[in-house]
Amino acid sequence: MTTTADRPPAPTPAAAGSLTHRQILVILSGLLLGMFLAALDQTIVSTAIRTIADKLNGQTQQAWVTTAYLITSTISTPLYGKLSDSYGRKPFYLFAIGIFLVGSLLCGTATGIYQLAAYRAIQGIGAGGLMSLAFAIVGDIVPPRERGRYQAYFMSVFGTSSVLGPVLGGALAGQDRLLGFDGWRWIFYVNVPIALAAFAVVSKQLHLPARRSSHKIDFVGAALLTAAVVPVLLLAEKGREYGWSSATSLTLMAVGVLALVSFVPWEARMGEAAILPLRIFKNSVFNISSIVALLVGTAMFGALVGLPLYLQIVKGESPTKAGLLLIPLMVGIIICSGITGRIMMRTGKYKIFPVFGTAVMFVAVLLFSTLTVDSPLWHACAFMVIMGAGLGLSMQTLVISVQNALPPQDMGVATSSVTFFRSMGGTFGAAVALSVLFGSVGGNIVDRARAAKLPQAVIDRFGEASSLNDTSIIRTLPPQIQRVVLQGFADSMHTSFLTVAFLLVPAFVLTLFIKEIPLRSSGGIAAAQADAETEERLSAARAESAVV
């Protein structure tokens, strides 16, 4: 079992669980910088990848740049959680910042698309720790009842990076040269000063009790988890390209299932040393919240992957302006996450927020499905505020509910598991949305063309999927044909949004069954120490009784 290392005579404020608001904010500044790095890198490449791929002569292989980052960041998340529970948060958080910094520097030096993908994989290893450990550290030093107040800052960073990433990526990629380097390379170099600042703040200001563990590291469990997750992520990302019933896809499915079937009994054998101790799955709050997190992640990314496409393809906005038009989403997230945190601090209640949050998200995605070629932009912006409100109500409360339900010594596993399931859901959501969109757009354009009585040659042209590989040609088409194509895209986005919306129905139903446990009034470290002291007193009492 994990134990606290030899304690110094005078415990640090963090160890005693008595940090002031000012001290927490100082620590939080470093954690926020770290999370900003990971969140920004999820979006900053999206608007620049076409330019990068052109420069590196790898347009047809560009998907690997995103896939490599996604795979390593997802599979490393639960590993950080378990290892930090056993050996302490700070060294692993500093390692995550360091490896992300190295990956960023390497990405800026890439000379080929596969080389860039490999360096992005290194970045992803760091990103997995930056996202999950930041929440776990807050859980260590802040009582659950006050945690929403501080985690709202993280939601604000997440929302800001969602908007800033596409704008900054497009702007830097548009520069031929900047300070002696290709403009696109600064997409990665911009991480360097932020990473250094985060490393300095965390190194100097974060003081947590050291930990030690008598357990061996579960390398086999980590390998089996990787073997189970990687094929699933690859299939979600590239299933359309491989063909869902192709030999490659079926092989990936078989490998993933076999690894998962082997993973469960192995983890049972490893007991407390397991990467994902199976006992945590006996907790109903953990199980339900994790499933809801997966579904919320699916809906969130499924919807958000479609919005920029609607703005750029259907409405004809530039990537930079499309990024700026996402600001209402950020506003909704920031306002509602802040209000939610303050209400939780005053009342100690949290269950109502994911209930309302999933319902609000459902309404927002249904509203997205009503967007057409002729819809004014303010409609989309208003719907984004509603979507942001739903996310602000849901995301942080799911993390807090799991952190509060599991023992303090499982803070890392609890936090990283919710993050892991949300990341997995995000991958599936994006894959499902894009599959529905591009799988139906050809047929919808043909239907619109026939209804408009366009020539058969036009119908035949857009009936082929290859004709849609370069959407920039749409603006060069004659007005009547252009409108038909845009209507076809809008019809497919309607179907895609409806598909995503229905995934929120089971999420809403499940939130009704989350058991609300009173929020603890002490942080994870203080609670763990109190539990240890209680156990010591009970042991002493039992020993005294035995002597008598």
Read off the pLDDT band of 95 (50, 70, 90). very high
* The domain defined by 19-218 carries CATH number 1.20.1250.20: yes
Beta bridge partners of 181: 178
Q: Where are the domains positioned within the chain?
A: 19-218, 219-274, 280-517, 520-548
The residue that leads in pLDDT, 93 or 171, is 93
Closest residue by Cα to residue 19 from 104, 139, 107, 132:
139
Q: Is the pLDDT of residue 527 over 60?
A: no
Q: Report the C-alpha gap between 213 and 273 in whole angstroms.
A: 9
pLDDT digits (tens, 9 = 90+) for 218-228: 888 888 888 88
- pLDDT at position 14, please? 44
Six-digit token pair at 448? Answer: 């619109």
pLDDT at residue 538, as a whole number: 55
Tell me how far apart the alpha carbons of residues 80 and 78 are, in angstroms, rounded to a whole number: 5
Over residues 248-292, the pLDDT tens digits come to 889 989 999 999 999 989 988 888 788 888 888 888 899 999 999
Q: Is the dihedral of CA 327, 332, 337, 343 positive or negative?
A: positive
Structure tokens at 194: 């932020």
pLDDT attached to residue 99: 95
CATH code matching the domain that covers 280-517, chosen among 2.160.10.10, 1.20.1250.20, 3.40.50.300, 2.60.40.10? 1.20.1250.20
Asked whether the beta carbons of 473 and 482 are under 8 A apart, the reply is no
Note the pLDDT of residue 491.
Answer: 92
